[in-house]
Amino acid sequence: MRLLRRIGPVLQGICLDQVPGRDHYFPTSHVHPLTMDFPVISLSLGHRLAGRHGGNESVSATAGEADIRDAADRLRAQSPLPLDRNPTLDEILGAYRDHLLSDPVSGRGPSNEVKNLLALARFSRSERVMAEQTAFVVELAKSWAYRPDGVHLRDECLELTLAEVPDRTALQAVVDSQVVRLTVDRLGFVEQL
């Protein structure tokens, strides 16, 4: 089960991610940048409901309304992005930056999250926003521990990552294609970003 809304080039939603082999689900908030050519809706910035004593908390498929409402309220409070209103571009970019700084894998190389951050900044048409996110990635790259095959120097890896960010026109074409491919063209959307 998935609930989605479209905010410019981003899908934001919550889903019930099935626990393998069980009739339980992890309530998960997430975003999917439509600027990324991808065959399915990703769980980018995925945040599973945290239990009261740590770890991820699942909800039974047979849970009652009160339990589901309680889980939804706690997920709303825990989510890195607001679920009760449309997040702003600054909030979305901030959530990506926070994730990259705290995630032991994504922040250690030119990950999809780095590319999504830069693509959303470019899509915004704001030179200030693009400059701020580029400066963040330049600083983050100082800690990159891994690089793609064939790239030996950290600076070369950074240059390749920055050069791979398409221009606004190309990003719009990807967004338009993704809207159709993922069949989210019927979603109402806010052209906010």
> Each residue of 111-135: pLDDT tens digit?
899 999 999 999 999 999 999 999 9
> Each residue of 39-58: pLDDT tens digit?
999 999 999 999 988 899 99
What span, in angstroms and rounded, lies between the C-alpha atoms of 130 and 134? 6
pTM listed for this prediction? 0.89
What span, in angstroms and rounded, lies between the C-alpha atoms of 122 and 120? 5
Listed by start position, the domains of the chain span: 2-78, 89-168
Q: Which two tokens stand for residue 186?
A: 């019927």
Beta bridge partners of 29: 14, 47
> Strand, helix or coil at 5?
strand
Show the low-confidence residues of the chain (pLDDT under 50).
none
